[in-house]
Amino acid sequence: DAGVTQSPTHLIKTRGQQVTLRCSPKSGHDTVSWYQQALGQGPQFIFQYYEEEERQRGNFPDRFSGHQFPNYSSELNVNALLLGDSALYLCASSLDLADYYNEQFFGPGTRLTVL
Amino acid sequence: DAKTTQPPSMDCAEGRAANLPCNHSTISGNEYVYWYRQIHSQGPQYIIHGLKNNETNEMASLIITEDRKSSTLILPHATLRDTAVYYCIVRVVTGAGSYQLTFGKGTKLSVIP
């Protein structure tokens, strides 16, 4: 059973460019969350997608947007890149269950470097 | 969600028990304590969680104080592969599928040969 997969592994962009990161959730999961992890910090929640809609959003500007497809995979888009957007971007998948045991499973992340 | 306080770093000898503390003095009645760890260059990995009773699984034990204001994650026999950043998180389990995890800086555990 494949876990959460993300692509690409690494990415280098320049300021002002746009980037798209991709995530395939764990088999059977229908909910995808995205987190940004700056160097030396814990992950910070960006947003969560369920049923192809953004359901929750953290404190991130509108330059950060996303999409979820009918097969539950997801994309994270960042426009007008800033140097401060350099980070590890993590995708986590889960089941939309009203359940104590509903865990988020994380992918390995995409390392984005903005020059 | 309630905030947590963890020591920034700890060392543990290989084969010994690693005891990682977490303070969550403002925890409310419907908040659970979760532990994740992040090995270098990987995504966070779920370890264990609990409400008020002690919990044990194949990876670790979680001891929560009676007043629920602090907890300890115990790795009974630490190995070099347990070297990682350990995050203590408290979150509300509302009965809805939607939730976000709020990570702090965690504790960097170094297991020493």
Predicted pLDDT at A103: 81
Is B53 in CB contact (< 8 Å) with chain A?
Answer: no
Q: Determine the average pLDDT of the residues in B65-80.
A: 96
Task: Pick B103's closest partner by Cβ from A40, A43, A50.
Answer: A43
Rounded distance, CA A22 to CA A90, Å?
10
Phi–psi pair at A96, nearest 5 degrees: -80, 80
Per-residue pLDDT of chain A in tens (115 residues, 90 and over written 9): 679 999 999 999 999 999 999 999 999 899 999 999 999 899 999 999 999 999 889 999 999 999 999 999 999 999 999 999 999 999 999 887 655 566 889 999 999 999 9
Give the pLDDT band (50/70/90) at residue B1. low
Rounded distance, CA A69 to CA A67, Å?
7
Rounded distance, CA A87 to CA A28, Å?
28
Is B105 in CB contact (< 8 Å) with chain A?
Answer: yes
Task: Pick B103's closest partner by Cβ from A42, A100, A102.
Answer: A42
